[in-house]
Amino acid sequence: MKQIYDTSPIKRVRRSKSEMNALLASIQGILQAEESQITIRHLFYRLVGLHVIEKTEAAYHQLCSHLSKWRRSGDIAWSDFSDNTRWHIRQKTFDSVQDALQNTLTNYRRNLWDSQNTYIEVWVEKDAMASIVSDTTSQFGVPLFVCRGFASLSSLYSAGETFKEAIDNGKQVFIYHLGDYDPSGVAAGESIKNTMRDDFKVDIQFERIAVTPEQIHRLQLPTRPVKNTDTRANGWQGECVELDTMKPADIQGIVQDAITQHIDQRQWDSLKATEQMERETLHTMIHNMEN
């Protein structure tokens, strides 16, 4: 069985103009149906699932080349895709006191979890999926951590100290994890749970919420063979599934369900009302300074 990450020894026949137009139309249809940005890798798996392109690394690189051309020609918008690899450090500055207050008003959020009896974090294996998941976690004020496969012991220790503080404040800690369904992806999640328990003696509730065998069957996700290079592949049963193959709406729904099950709605609504009053106070301060 051919692996997705192998390069193909067969020289592919160049697509005809009509085939290229059909590929472009398929891509545009997928992008138009999405409410937020997706990654190119996610688009690749969607096209594989629709049997538009082959499930090979060569086909992925060809797709990237086509997208570069179509984005430059304007057939596909530059803003359709997310990429979290670009970041920079910059101190935030303001043009005036009013500007600073306006920024505060725009970004002001009450800690709505202060009155809840749980502390929640969502952990995602891949940088590329962070923007999709953060659309939901930020809505509820839940921290999102990108663990990039096997999280470092230093990052796990830091997280453990945060969890201990939450536990000391009477809260139960939950980590919801999203990663590939393959030997390393599953092992990475187990490593987080075991390290917290065995090395840092932190009592947490850890749950893998994607990708799961049930989701693979229910959502008909495209699979790939297990990688021969994966040292944890011995004994693995069945094929594997990348987190990127899931539709953003499905991922966001799974994350939202994991979070909202812990919300005491009465206390939540009470703090939301307080937040609104405080935002109105900030708005009044800005209005008075401008006049």
Q: How many CB atoms lie within 10 A of CB 194?
A: 12
Contact, 126 vs 40, CB < 8 A? Answer: no
Q: Is residue 2 part of a domain?
A: no
| Number of domains composing the chain | 2
How much is the pLDDT for 85? 61
Q: Give the Cα separation of 205 and 84 in Å (integer).
A: 28
Stretch 87-107: mean pLDDT: 86
What pLDDT band is residue 9 in, cutting at 50, 70 and 90? very low
Q: Give the Cα separation of 268 and 93 in Å (integer).
A: 33
Residues 46 and 137 in one domain: no
Residues 42 and 147 in one domain: no
Residues 255 and 128 in one domain: yes
Q: Is residue 90 part of a domain?
A: no
Q: What percent of the chain clears pLDDT 70, i.e. is strictly above it?
A: 93
Residues 125 and 61 in one domain: no
Q: Is residue 290 part of a domain?
A: no
Q: Give the Cα separation of 145 and 206 in Å (integer).
A: 14
Residues 23 and 156 in one domain: no
Is the pLDDT at 11 greater than 60? The verdict is no
Residues 127 and 192 in one domain: yes
How much is the pLDDT for 197? 95
Stretch 257-267: mean pLDDT: 97
Q: Give the Cα separation of 237 and 289 in Å (integer).
A: 66
Residue 216 token pair: 């693979």
Residues 53 and 158 in one domain: no
pTM: 0.78
Residues 137 and 222 in one domain: yes
How much is the pLDDT for 213? 95
Contact, 202 vs 156, CB < 8 A? Answer: no
How much is the pLDDT for 224? 86
Q: Is residue 101 part of a domain?
A: no
Q: Is residue 48 part of a domain?
A: yes
The strand pairing partners of 118, in sequence order, are 172
Secondary structure in 3-state letters for the chain: CCCCCCCCCCCCCCCCHHHHHHHHHHHHHHHHHCCCCECHHHHHHHHHHCCCCCCCHHHHHHHHHHHHHHHHHCCCCHHHECCCCCCCCCCCCCCCHHHHHHHHHHHCCCCCCCCCCEEEEEEECCHHHHHHHHHHHHHHCCCEEECCCCCCHHHHHHHHHHHHHHHHCCCEEEEEEECCECHHHHHHHHHHHHHHHHCCCCCEEEEEEECCHHHHHHHCCCCECCCCCCCCCCCCCCCEECHHHCCHHHHHHHHHHHHHCCCCHHHHHHHHHHHHHHHHHHHHHHHHHHC
CA 230 to each of CA 58, 183, 233: distance values in angstroms, whole numbers, following the listed order: 20, 7, 5
CA 222 to each of CA 18, 26, 184, 242: distance values in angstroms, whole numbers, following the listed order: 26, 17, 18, 8
pLDDT single digits (tens) 25-65: 999 999 998 877 888 888 998 898 888 998 888 999 999 99
More confident call, 230 vs 119: 119
Residues 123 and 255 in one domain: yes
Q: What percent of the chain clears pLDDT 90, i.e. is strictly above it?
A: 65
- Mean pLDDT of all residues in the chain? 89
Residues 54 and 167 in one domain: no
Domain holding 68, by residue range, is: 17-80
Residues 197 and 254 in one domain: yes
Q: Is residue 291 part of a domain?
A: no
From its phi and psi, is residue 148 left (phi > 0), alpha (psi between -120 and 50) or beta? left
**What is the strand order of the sheet 144-146 is part of?**
144-146, 118-124, 172-178, 204-210
Least confident segment among 49-58, 121-130, 201-210? 49-58
Q: Is residue 107 part of a domain?
A: no
What CATH number should be reported for the domain holding residue 160? 3.40.1360.10
Stretch 87-112: mean pLDDT: 87
pLDDT single digits (tens) 159-196: 999 999 999 999 999 999 999 999 999 999 999 999 99
Amino acid letter, 160: G
Is the pLDDT at 13 greater than 60? The verdict is no
Q: Is residue 157 part of a domain?
A: yes
Residues 47 and 181 in one domain: no
Stretch 81-87: mean pLDDT: 68
